[in-house]
Chains A and B, each alone.
Chain A
Amino acid sequence: MHKSKALLTVNNLSVGFHTDRGDVTAIEDVSFEVRAGEILGIVGESGCGKSVTGRSIMRLLPKFNSFIDPQSEINFEGINLAQADEKTMRTLRGDRIAMIFQEPMTALNPVFTIGWQLDEALKYHTTLKKSQRRERAVAMLKSVEIPNPEQRYHEYPHQLSGGMRQRVVIAMALCCDPELLIADEPTTALDVTIQAQILRLMDELRKKAETAVILITHDLGVIAQICDRVIVMYAGQIVETADVYSLFKNPQHPYTKALLESIPQTGRQHHQTRLPTIEGIVPSLFDLPDGCRFQDRCTFRTQECVDREPQLSDEVDSRKVRCFFPLENLL
């Protein structure tokens, strides 16, 4: 694990949305840090605030209905992204911080060529001449293992397959050598073979360029493959954070444990029993319970969990957990 200085420090990030039913807090008091060359995984069910966290760092949430709490701080190399103006953000986006999105089928603009879209970020952030940018773009396509990059450069997104498009999206995100890459479910829409390729590609690239990566996913398999540290989110809060080995070996939060148990595994005699699932659903953000947000689905619930809301613990062996009864103690 890298012990270098943190590249990005997020402190007490809270983000809300204006809705027809009133304002709602989507993520609450999220704090974490990422170091150069590290892959941080953020995992959780749909709607627990993973993507909102990623997009807040990029400040890509729609302006008309979202707001970042003024107490929040997103420190990127001395710049507070939570309060930065649009102009500052524009110089950072695509240059020092880049993002990869979930849907390769729609993430590329259908009416412009691959080359044009690759050229865009280079045009905004570098002083390269046209021919140099072109060379760079083709080299990027080659580095993400796209066959015939020269020819693909002139093609439109609809002429490429999903896996190829996602590689183009990655090439696009990486063409200005970002220091931080936010990958929002980069492999969810792809089949498993392509998924493995993309993950390998990202792993190689961060080793080569010391890029810090925030990998947002709901797939613990992906986390296990390439992440260094993991944040588990539930209903807008961080419930557990640990390095990947400790987390898989010894989950402390009941939610993490339940998540791990619901992964199908080979070698165990799982075929005799049904795959365990987590009962119930994530509570609506409009209707959060008092006390612990996971109480309704937790098998270890006590009266205290209903009465009081647990806080994220102080760091112990670089682990934090938001539970009154971390599982270690129960075992």
Chain B
Amino acid sequence: MAIVLLVMLLLRVRDPVPGMMGKQATVEDIANKREELGLNRPRYVQYFTLLQQMVTFDFSQELWTQPGMTVGELLRKSVPISLLLTLPALFLTTVISVCIGMISAYARGRLLDKILVFFAVLGMSISFLVYIIFGQYFGSYQLGRLVGQPVFSIHGYEPGLQNWAYYMLLPVLISVIVSMGYNTRFYRAVMVEETTQDYITTAWSKGASTSKIMFVHMLRNAMIPIITRIMITLPLLVTGSILLERFFGIPGMGDALLSAISNNDFPVIEVFSSIFAGLFICSIILTDVLYAVFDPRVRLQ
């Protein structure tokens, strides 16, 4: 994490200040601004200041592009919006694709399996943008015309849970469909692996039913790869979905981050990168803890 921050700081080659101040700024103004932002101090001082702020969870730096607003406020405003989009999407994707993966593995080699795999590959092969455009056209525009009133929003966002379905459901569904292909294929592979295990044959030989085999014997053993996959995507929930947020006009973290990057708003980028790195480390630690919950072999004596 520290290394990432250091690299970022060193990469800040271009002086952002003249751009911020506009055409009318004098050399003196720029120097004053640099002084104010602490940019005239040596790089290593800047680095340790940043490090100190991150370690103490001090997110009170002001945005360069929006003076008066701190990074903390921006995060508090944007991250929940992103989570409203990404959390349901992750949940739905995982549940549905584990089930489809399981069905596909169970029907392995038969027509049903082939159809499911075909659609998974097809789903993987189509661009995200196509889903968004088609989703917006059919889901918002055509469906709205058919019903006579807008069912899903095309662009924009209002807070409040009662508005969730109107603004978020369509992007969530698109997100689910997009990630289904990859996930289904992954979980199918995991489940096929499980069906070949000796203990599954043992379970059959005891007279266990198909559902017992799939949902108890196989799923419990498949928890390790499933958890790993979910945990790795957890930090990404906070980033939101840049594409979906842009296209649907949802002011989430992905959108905020994209603006920050295009406007050289370094405090936002730095803070967000640190938080992301921190979350990543946390999720990996959490993964190990969960391994122990699901696999008795990992438990400490």
Contact = CB atoms under 8 A, between A and B. Distances in A.
Given A60-B204, A64-B110, A158-B296, A109 B209 contact: no
B203 A120 contact: yes
B296 A111 contact: yes
B109 interface: yes
A121 B206 contact: yes
A303 B202 CA distance: 46
A158 B297 CA distance: 7
A262 B295 CA distance: 45
A179 interface: no
B207 A125 contact: yes
A286 interface: no
Contacts of A103: 198
A91 B297 CA distance: 32
A101 B203 contact: no
Interface of chain B, main secondary structure:
helix
A106 B199 contact: yes
Contact of A109 (B107, B203, B205, B223): B203
Nearest to B192: A64
Contacts, number: 81
B205 A108 contact: no
A120 B208 contact: yes
B110 A92 contact: no
Interface string A73-113: 00000000000001000111111001101010011111111
Interface of chain A, main secondary structure:
mixed
Interface residues of B, number: 26
A91 B207 contact: yes
B26 interface: no
Interface in B157-206: 195, 197-199, 201-206
Contacts of A64: 107-110
B51 to A, nearest CB: 42
Contacts of A110: 199, 221, 295-297
Contacts of B294: 111
B207 A121 contact: yes
A72 B109 CA distance: 24
B217 interface: yes
Contact of A92 (B199, B203, B207): B207
A109 B199 contact: yes
A92 B205 CA distance: 9
Interface string A143-174: 00000000000001010000000000100110
Interface of A: 18, 58, 60, 62, 64-65, 86, 90-95, 98-99, 101, 103, 106-113, 120-121, 124-125, 156, 158, 169, 172-173
9 contacts: A58-B205, A92-B207, A101-B205, A108-B202, A109-B203, A110-B199, A121-B207, A124-B208, A172-B206
